[in-house]
Amino acid sequence: MYKRIYELREDNDLKQREIAKILNCSQRVYSNYERGDLDIPTEILIKLAKHYDVSTDYILGISDKMDPNK
């Protein structure tokens, strides 16, 4: 479901535990986000978008544009 957060994490050479620490959640919870077992809360979605400098629409698969300003 959230394939793009997996791809963004891999493209940035981060481990799940590293991004989980940035998001202030456990690795297990973050893993559940990537697998789609848990919906990403709005607060976490915004943190991810800011961290990766992409739009929330990109993360959600609504848009293929990574940069919200282009």
Q: What is the DSSP string of 22-42?
A: HHTS-HHHHHHHHHTSSPPPH
Is the whole model's pTM more than 0.85, yes or no?
Answer: yes
Identity of the residue numbered 1: M
pLDDT of residue 70: 58
Tell me the pLDDT of the chain (70 aa) as tens digits. 689 999 999 999 999 999 999 999 999 999 999 999 999 999 999 999 999 999 999 999 998 888 766 5
pLDDT recorded at residue 2: 84
